[in-house]
Structure 1
Amino acid sequence: MFSPEGPRLRELAVQALSSVERGYDLLAPKFDHTPFRTPGSVLDATAGALRRLGPFDTGLDLCCGTGAGVDVLAQVCRRSVTGVDFSAGMLAVARERTRPGGPPAGHVRADARALPFGPAFDLVVSFGAFGHFLPRELPELFAQVHRVLRPGGRFAFPVGAPSRPGSLVYWKLLGFDTVMRVRNAVWRPPFVMYYRTLRFGGLRHELDRAGFRVELHPLPGFGQRPDGSPRARLVVARRPEE
């Protein structure tokens, strides 16, 4: 599951018994060697889809972690890109990434539910972060994204089709979520990270409520399900022009 450069079992145990912020501070130096990092195939497919929608001037990677999403933004934004995360450890790794060419990149430590920006961005992206937010937190999260986008700006993130009930992936995700629920029931502070809490229907409903106009763009490189629907899509939520 982990490469030789990844964290050991004892390190993961310490991280899992920490707060979300502290856990990611500890995991940061080895995060890119874990399966928790968004796969390169997803990042590349997202960049390709955004090129067809852009170019953009300024971009923000929401919950940027070690900066892989900032690299995506650097391919489609002309003026500047910014990563925001509340883990100082993850930001420290992100700042060390080498990005030859491309627009200037900045990194800001902040909570995604209280972004310290005005309407300064044409594009906001996020990769694999929504599991850290409970469903009741989505309205404020999406309201923050809406607020920092310029009119006409877009909020984009990839989503995969739900795993088939009874499949190996289904049981793995269910097992992970069950372990996390038990952990949070008996241990404080909580570590919010669930794979099956947020459904696509709930995400879209909250995007609509926040004032976005939502489009779905298939990511064809991941193939189709037996019913012909794509296995992965890019959700593009646009803040309407005022």
Structure 2
Amino acid sequence: MFGPQGPTLRELAVQALSSVEHGYDLLAPKFDHTPFRTPDGVLDAVAEALAPLGPFTDGLDLCCGTGAGTRVLTGLCRRSVTGVDFSAGMLDVARQRVRPADGPGIAWVRGDARALPFTAAFDLVVSFGAFGHFLPRELPGLFAQVGSVLRPGGRFAFPVFAPPRPAHPGFWLLLGFDTVMRARNALWRPPFVMYYRAFRLGTVLRELERAGLTVELGVLPGFGRRADGSPRARLVVARRPGERPARLQPAAGRVNS
């Protein structure tokens, strides 16, 4: 599927019936040839929006996968960049594919985002496409972990896209996927947690603030606006209290919770 270099249907089925960790170990060599990998256009837009808030010294790519977001950090951070993921297979691919000739040093760490093996060592944390692997009840602990590894004034940034409306085919595609995953997890062990519709912006903003972070919403303008004028893509930037931050372009329109 997804072209000659992508995984076969059988390989995807084996992955889906595995644990999240083992499933990604299996998928890792072909992950970048699937739609699950964050598109370069999104990565570039986030990098462009974050650049005026820097320069940054040390960055962390949370749930780094094959290192697409880690590569973004190498252009934003001056001293070091760290990618953390709990899949050894994904980290192996990242080591091979992210090898800048110069710039900050890169470290790869196998670890769980819910129990990060770091102190307050970073002034920028990013994450791309990983939040579907966390149940809503896990967000308080996850965001508390992120806050604990940020230096005072450090920022946690990630893109969020407006969910499709019921009139759009994507709405039913995502609903169908989540329904199948819930049925799978009710009938099969170990569970494979991946839900596209569970990460709701209103809930996320509340939990970030409860974790003691100050939140700003920016707009990623290259993705346009919906019929009601609200942006299709936003950048969430949550800051640990510290020095006064630079301002983002304010987001317009409603927040979808």
- TM-score past 0.5 threshold: yes
Tell whether 2:44 aligns with 1:44: yes
Cα deviation, residue 229, structure 1: 1.5
Give TM-score, length-normalised by structure 2.
Answer: 0.93
Provide structure 1 residue ranges, at least 5 long, that are not aligned to the other structure: none
Cα deviation, residue 228, structure 1: 1.4
Q: Partners of 2:25 and 2:187 in 1: how far apart? A: 22
Task: Kindly provide the CA deviation profile for residues 96-131 of structure 1, in whole angstroms up to 9, marking residues without a partner as x.
Answer: 113232211110000000000000000000001110
| Aligned position for 1:123 | 124
**1:89-238 correspondence to structure 2 within 5 Å:** 89-97=89-97, 98-238=99-239
Secondary structure of 1:113's partner?
Answer: helix
| Aligned position for 2:255 | none
Give TM-score, length-normalised by structure 1.
Answer: 0.98
**Given residue 66 of structure 1, which amino acid in structure 2 is its aligned partner?**
T
| Aligned position for 2:75 | 75
Give the fraction of aligned pairs with identical amino acids, expressed as a percent: 76
Cα deviation, residue 230, structure 1: 1.1
Cα deviation, residue 165, structure 1: 1.5
Q: Partners of 1:237 and 1:165 in 2: how far apart? A: 30
Cα deviation, residue 4, structure 1: 1.3
**Given residue 90 of structure 2, which amino acid in structure 1 is its aligned partner?**
M
Cα deviation, residue 3, structure 1: 2.1
Q: Partners of 2:226 and 2:31 in 1: how far apart? A: 30
| Aligned position for 2:250 | none
Q: Partners of 1:200 and 1:84 in 2: how far apart? A: 24
Q: Partners of 2:228 and 2:53 in 1: how far apart? A: 27
| Aligned position for 1:15 | 15
**Given residue 20 of structure 1, which amino acid in structure 2 is its aligned partner?**
V
Secondary structure of 1:4's partner?
Answer: coil
Cα deviation, residue 162, structure 1: 1.4
- Stretches of 4+ aligned residues off by more than 4 angstroms: none
Q: Partners of 2:133 and 2:79 in 1: how far apart? A: 30
When the two chains are superposed, the root-mean-square deviation of aligned CA atoms in Å is 0.9
Q: Partners of 1:196 and 1:226 in 2: how far apart? A: 21
Task: Kindly provide the CA deviation profile for residues 166-189 of structure 1, in whole angstroms up to 9, marking residues without a partner as x.
Answer: 311101100110110110010000
Cα deviation, residue 197, structure 1: 1.0
Provide structure 2 residue ranges, at least 5 long, that are not aligned to the other structure: 244-257
Q: Partners of 2:107 and 2:89 in 1: how far apart? A: 15
Q: Partners of 2:12 and 2:114 in 1: how far apart? A: 26
Q: Partners of 1:187 and 1:101 in 2: how far apart? A: 46
